[in-house]
Amino acid sequence: MRKLAFFAFAGATGFAVDMGVLWLLLSLTPLDPFSARVLAIATAMLCTYLINRTFTFGASTRHVAVEGARYGSVGIASALVNYAVYSGLLIAWSGLSPYVALFFGSAVATLFSYLGYSRFVFGTNR
């Protein structure tokens, strides 16, 4: 239960970072919602990696480079799911707020990422 609570904390923090970076980029740069979201997701992924490695799962028994590569592969797969939902919603409903689309994309990717991080990256089955 502790891991799930910390994972939720990491996810909430990552979501806040994702939303904040997206807002900043859309407000302060000429980037469109699709380009800005790529940068926002990458920033949030780094943030959640640090929280998950430090608090949620702890360091794995793998070398940090291997662990980072595994985390990145799960993160990229999860980000692709997240981005596909986000983009699909924005394309399907042209007036939809990018922030609403971000919420739904993140929600869909959460279960996938927890299972990938807990089993593939950090090697826990709990």
Give the integer Cα–Cα distance in Å for 48 and 36.
19
pLDDT 10s digits, 85-99: 999 999 999 999 999
pLDDT 10s digits, 97-118: 999 999 999 998 988 888 887 7
Position 53: which residue type? R
Q: How many CB atoms lie within 10 A of CB 86?
A: 27
Give the integer Cα–Cα distance in Å for 86 and 98.
8
Joined together, the tokens standing for residue 36 give 């800005």
Hey, which bits of 11-88 come out as E strands? Answer: none
